[in-house]
C-alpha cells in the first residue's frame, strides 16, 4: 500500500479507538442502578440421579425423599454493575431466585464485598423453590455470592426477579466463564486475536508472493494486481472490524467485581 492508504488505515484505527473510548466514558457518566445476576458455569452434582436405581439407598430431607433426579450445588453472584447506589428503600419488588426443578435444600451467603451491605437470603414464605435476597446497601461494585443446593439436575432453568427505583428488572447474564475472567486474561484475548491476525496476514503475503509468478502466467498481471488489492482490503477490513468488536466487548462487558470474583 502507498502512503495515502496507510494514513487512511491509521485514521480509521484512531476512529475505532475513539468510539470505544467514547462508549467507555459514557458508561462512566451514565448514572443508573443495575442489579445483576449470574450463575457460575461450574455446577456441581452432589448426588447423581442413578442413586434412585438402587433400592437399598435413599436420600431424605426433612423426612421427604429427594435426589431422584440428582442433587446439585450452584453459586449465584449478585452485584450492582451500575453507577448509582441501591439502598434497601429503593427496592420496589424483592429480589428472588426460583428453581422449578424441585425444592431448595440449602442456601447461604458465602461471600460479600463488604460486611456493611448486610446481605441475607431466606426462603420466600412457604414456597420451597424460591429464595428472597435482601441487603442494606449496594454501592457500585458491591455484591455477594450465594451457595445454593437444590433437588434436581444441573441443567435446570434458574429464574430471577426483582425491581428497584430506576430498574424494572435485574440484568441476568448467561453462565459464561468470560464474566469470571481475571484482568490478565481479559487483556490476553485481544492480544491473541491480533497476533493470530498478524500471523495470518504474514502467511497470506508469503503464499501470495510465492504464487505470484504462476498466477500472472495464468490470469495476467493486471488481474492478479486487482485480486491482490481486493484481498488486502478485505483482510484489513476484517481485522479492523474484529478490533472494533473486541474493543466494544471489553468496554461494555460487565465483569464480576474483584471483591467477590472466585480466586
Q: Counting Cβ atoms within 10 Å, is residue 212 exposed (0-12), middle (13-18) or buried (19+)?
A: middle
Higher per-residue confidence, 194 vs 214: 194
Query: What is the C-alpha separation between 150 and 98, in angstroms, rounded?
Result: 10
pLDDT band (50, 70, 90) for residue 73: very high
- pLDDT for 254 equals 77
Higher per-residue confidence, 250 vs 105: 105
Higher per-residue confidence, 180 vs 98: 98
- pLDDT for 54 equals 78
3-class DSSP assignment, residue 171? strand
Reported as a single tens digit per residue, the pLDDT across 249-262 is: 665 667 888 889 88
Q: What is the pTM of this model?
A: 0.71
- pLDDT for 239 equals 66
- Three cell numbers at 220? 495476467
DSSP string for 88-148: GGGEEEEEEEEETTS-EEEEEEEEES-GGG--EEEE-TT-TTEEEEE-SEE-TT-EEEEEE
Query: What is the C-alpha separation between 29 and 16, in angstroms, rounded?
Result: 20
Cβ 144 vs Cβ 119: under 8 Å = yes
Reported as a single tens digit per residue, the pLDDT across 140-199 is: 999 999 999 999 999 899 999 999 999 999 999 999 888 887 666 666 666 666 666 667
Reported as a single tens digit per residue, the pLDDT across 39-51 is: 999 999 998 887 7
Residues 123-127, mean pLDDT to the nearest whole number = 86
Higher per-residue confidence, 259 vs 63: 259
Residues 15-34, mean pLDDT to the nearest whole number = 66
Query: What is the C-alpha separation between 144 and 138, in angstroms, rounded?
Result: 10
Amino acid at each position: 500500500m502507498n502512503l495515502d492508504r496507510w494514513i487512511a488505515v491509521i485514521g480509521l484505527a484512531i476512529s475505532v479507538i475513539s468510539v470505544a473510548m467514547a462508549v467507555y466514558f459514557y458508561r462512566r457518566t451514565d448514572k443508573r442502578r443495575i442489579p445483576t445476576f449470574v450463575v457460575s458455569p461450574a455446577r456441581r452434582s452432589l448426588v447423581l440421579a442413578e442413586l434412585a436405581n438402587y433400592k437399598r439407598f435413599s436420600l431424605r430431607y426433612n423426612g421427604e425423599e429427594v435426589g431422584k433426579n440428582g442433587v446439585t450445588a450452584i453459586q449465584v453472584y449478585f452485584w450492582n454493575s451500575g453507577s448509582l447506589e441501591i439502598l434497601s428503600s429503593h427496592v420496589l419488588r424483592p429480589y428472588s431466585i426460583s428453581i422449578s426443578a424441585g425444592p431448595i435444600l440449602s442456601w447461604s451467603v458465602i461471600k460479600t464485598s463488604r460486611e456493611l451491605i448486610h446481605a441475607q437470603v431466606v426462603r420466600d414464605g412457604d414456597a420451597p423453590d424460591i429464595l428472597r435476597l435482601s441487603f442494606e446497601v449496594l454501592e457500585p461494585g458491591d455484591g455477594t455470592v450465594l451457595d445454593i443446593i437444590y433437588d434436581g439436575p444441573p441443567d435446570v432453568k434458574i429464574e430471577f426477579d426483582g425491581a428497584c427505583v430506576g430498574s424494572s428488572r435485574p440484568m441476568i447474564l448467561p453462565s459464561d466463564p468470560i464474566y469470571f475472567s481475571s484482568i490478565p486474561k481479559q487483556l490476553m484475548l485481544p492480544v491473541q486475536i491480533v497476533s493470530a491476525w498478524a500471523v495470518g496476514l504474514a502467511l497470506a503475503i508469503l503464499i501470495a508472493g510465492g504464487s505470484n509468478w504462476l498466477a500472472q502466467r495464468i490470469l495476467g498481471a493486471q488481474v492478479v494486481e486487482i485480486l491482490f488489492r481486493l484481498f488486502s482490503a478485505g483482510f484489513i477490513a476484517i481485522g479492523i472490524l474484529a478490533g472494533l468488536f473486541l474493543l466494544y466487548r471489553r468496554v461494555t462487558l460487565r465483569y464480576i467485581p474483584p471483591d467477590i470474583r472466585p480466586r
